Amino acid sequence: MGLLQISEPGGASPRRGSRKNVAGIDLGTTNSLIATYVESGQGAMESAVEGTVQTLADSHGAHLLPSAVQFGATGVLATGAAAKARAAEDPANVIISVKRALGKSHDELTASGDYRQYRFAADRAAEAPAFLTAAGARDAVAVSAEILKALAARAERHAGASIEGAVITVPAHFNDAQRQQTRQAAELAGIKVLRLLNEPTAAAVAYGLDSNERGNIIVYDLGGGTFDVSLLSLQKGIFEVLATGGDTALGGNDFDKVVVDWLASKAGFAAIEPARYPALLQVANRAREALSEAGQAEVVWGGWCGELTAAHFAELAAPLVRRTLSACRRVLRDAGMKLGDIDHVLLVGGATRMPVVRQAVSEYFAREPLHDIDPDRVVALGAGIQAEVLAGNRPNEDFLLLDVNPLSLGIETMGELVEKIIQRNTAIPVVKSQQFTTFKDGQTAMTLHIVQGERELASECRSLARFTLRGIPPMAAGAAKVEVRFQIDADGLLSVAATESSTGCKAEIQVKPSYGLDLGQVEKMLHDSRAHAREDMQARALGEAKLEAERLIDAIDGAVKEDGGLLDAAERQAIEAALASLGEALAGGDPALIDERRARLNEVSESFAARRMNATVGAALRGESIETFENLAK
């Protein structure tokens, strides 16, 4: 944001600078949009927000740009509606629903079933998986960049100049890899990203709820490929996301799939050929959209013709709708709120036009949800308003957006335990730090493993990155002090730095997407953390008990080897017996027994430790004057 100007006392107000050409972009799974400031008299859409920011239409008057790109031997052949229209005849080269591929591994893409009509490039284990097209391998970042280029070109035609920056929206539940790739796609398209903004927050801004004095707002966002629900609170001009939830693999496309499955069973298909799947999806999509306006829809495929009623579709879609309401319940529980605490419910995303969805949301929250603004356009409009604020075009705005990180972030410590540094649902941007130390005597390096998730063991969380801090002075275990600093910026992107205090040696990393990981673990983390809470607590207690016991065993083994001459036979025997007993407890895995036997080892070695300390102090002071001793004692 630009610096605010202050005039001298009694002077005239400074003249406002020229308006920056910025935009808000909703990069969607099914459709994408761009919104910019429009001067009065330039033509307006019917639901302009704030009288200034509007979504832009193409030369045919269409505001929605289908998120589809067709590739040919010479490169990109078509983007948007023209590409989508050719999906049935050229399924391998028309990439659709690419947003679902962002941040995912090759195994995840092939296992999901969303991309059965495509082939993927081999030998890309260390890179993002790529679609094989007539133009060569194209990964999700490259395909998304083509969609963004088409939107930017639309804005440039409108303004007569290139855009200077954009706010791009992402689902609130997008993880770090998906956010990073969204930013990379924008950079590849030549667009400067002012901020990545969570879609629910953008929707609330578009409705002008920021002008209210206070209120709690649920944003129910069901798009083509993702579902998000967020609870926002407005308190004295501060817009804060209290909790988020959702499903990055649930959207309007999945409602189309249940129609496809119904059609396949009615028409007697044993299997659906991958090449014909896009055309079948289009038939299902048309039927679903028709049911939003009528009580029945005719479905024709090949030589088969049938009728799908709204009541039957509601039965088919019921499990998907229940999944969305389960996410709503989790968000309310996370925020410690009840249904009666909610002041507004917003519907966002084209899939919320389905009567079965509107009815379910209305019944669950016991209120009529707001859907005055076109649910397809509302996110782009909110992003456009926020872009105006960030660019300094609207300097008098009095609201502040505070998003949250959806999952806890931390590092792996000894014993494979997770130390959470930034808890989930912490408002961002945020910086938090914590001190750590070495485990072994003479340790000169430390490997930091960054993880994301709610479980207590690192193996149950998502691995984000690893990096190493070198140059730690060789000291006794536990003497070094290393500060680990986590920073999440306003886009939700993470950077981690580690600094050793005595030397100032530092290592840092900006977390980049990791491929080959199980995204399903990420999406189930919140559920799993609750389902396994008791066993996780037991695992952590056992891990901590083992860690303390192993430290004590190492310390006493080293002390006996170095100063065993200070022990008499009975003391040595007692210590050896206590060591063996503690070793047996470690093998058994009972944390209470481990703690009990560790206490016993401390007890039998206490007099030995005291004699070692006395001998060390005596050696250090031998030959020194009484004045030196007195000075040391001061």
Catalytic residues: 26, 99, 199, 221
Cα separation of 228 and 241, whole Å?
12
Contact 77, 95 (CB under 8 A): no
Cα separation of 402 and 321, whole Å?
29
CB atoms within 10 A of CB 318: 13
Cα separation of 185 and 183, whole Å?
5
Q: H or E element: which one contains 455?
A: none
Bridge-partner residues for 370, per DSSP? 346
* Strands lying side by side in the sheet with 75-79: 75-79, 68-72, 94-96
Contact 155, 163 (CB under 8 A): yes
Contact 417, 238 (CB under 8 A): no
Contact 150, 83 (CB under 8 A): no
CB atoms within 10 A of CB 66: 21
Cα separation of 332 and 336, whole Å?
6
- What tokens were used for 109? 């893409």
Contact 119, 92 (CB under 8 A): yes
Separation in Å, CA 22 to CA 34, 165, 210, 265, 387: 10, 5, 21, 49, 6
Q: Which residues contact 85 (CB under 8 A, 6 or more apart)?
A: none
CB atoms within 10 A of CB 500: 21
Cα separation of 424 and 432, whole Å?
13
Query: Angle at which helices 277-291 and 310-335 pack, to 10 degrees?
Result: 90
Cα separation of 488 and 430, whole Å?
5
- DSSP letters for 104-150: --HHHHHHHSTTTT--B-SS-TTS--EEEETTEEEEHHHHHHHHHHH
- What tokens were used for 94? 């028309």
Cα separation of 332 and 339, whole Å?
8
Q: H or E element: which one contains 162?
A: none
Contact 168, 186 (CB under 8 A): yes
| Cis previous bond, 429, omega within 30 | yes
